[in-house]
Structure 1
């Protein structure tokens, strides 16, 4: 079985780093409640205000459906609002 992996790299200002971490729990709860095929996520803090969000999806279709919904729930919207700059979004396959 393969898993679809979403790799999103973004920047957050230093003064919002703590807020980002605090917003993570409500965002994950919204994903678990509303996003079919959501398997889990890891957030990695990188140097110079960059972060990497690694999200696992059951299938490419589940990932695409989630992207189409965007920040449609309060927890997701609050997390997204703290992002200053989107650096990249990639999709891969975990084998």
Structure 2
């Protein structure tokens, strides 16, 4: 598995649209890229945002990053972003998930 980390700021007055349009954008992303396993939108204390997406593999994450602008709902959602703070992918080398915890 791989995690995609995308840091950004939002255009003035666009936060509500960013959040409201998020479910449709994620649904379109998942339809186009089956390797997308989960997505978490977070807001940091300084007002910036961090989008965290879990992918089945790093290769699928990198392919999606190259092609995501071809998904209309994603391209429209990106229009709410004022500035990108960068995109990076990290490999998951160990994981724990309460839903799959067999130690209980």
Q: Same fold (TM over 0.5)?
A: yes
List runs of 5+ in structure 2 lacking aligned partners.
95-104
Secondary structure at 1:61's aligned position in 2? Answer: helix
In structure 2, the residue matched to 1:4 is 2
Matches within 5 A, 1:1-95: 3-94=1-92, 95=94
Tell me how far 1:7 sits from its aligned partner: 0.5
Aligned length: 93
Native 8 Å contact 1:14 1:49 kept in 2: no
Q: Which 4+ stretches in 1 moved above 3 angstroms?
A: none
Q: Distance in 2 between matches of 1:26 and 1:77?
A: 12
The TM-score, its normalising length taken from structure 1, stands at 0.89
> Does the Cα contact within 8 Å between 1:13 and 1:49 map onto a contact in 2?
no
- TM-score, normalised to structure 2, is 0.82
Q: Residues 52-93 of structure 1: CA distance to partner in whole angstroms, max 9, x if unpaired?
A: 000011111101110121221221111111101001212112
Deviation at 1:48, TM superposition (A): 3.6
Q: Which runs of 5+ in 1 are unaligned?
A: none
Counterpart Cα distance in 2 of 1:71 and 1:30: 12
Alignment RMSD? 1.3
Aligned mates of 2:63, 2:15 — CA distance in 1 = 28
